[in-house]
Amino acid sequence: MSTDRTPMPTATWFKSSYSSGNTDEQCIETAGLGTSVGIRDSKDLAQGHLTVPKSAWASLIDTITS
Asked if 30 contacts 17 with a C-beta cutoff of 8 angstroms, the reply is: no
pTM: 0.74
What's the pLDDT at 8?
66
Summarised one tens digit per residue, pLDDT across range 1-27 is 566 666 666 789 998 776 665 555 678
pLDDT of 10: 77
Domain holding 57, by residue range, is 2-16+24-65
pLDDT tens by residue, 35-65: 999 998 888 888 888 999 999 999 999 999 9
Q: What is the pLDDT of residue 54?
A: 95
Rounded-to-integer distance, Cα 39 and Cα 43, Å: 12
Domain count, the chain: 1
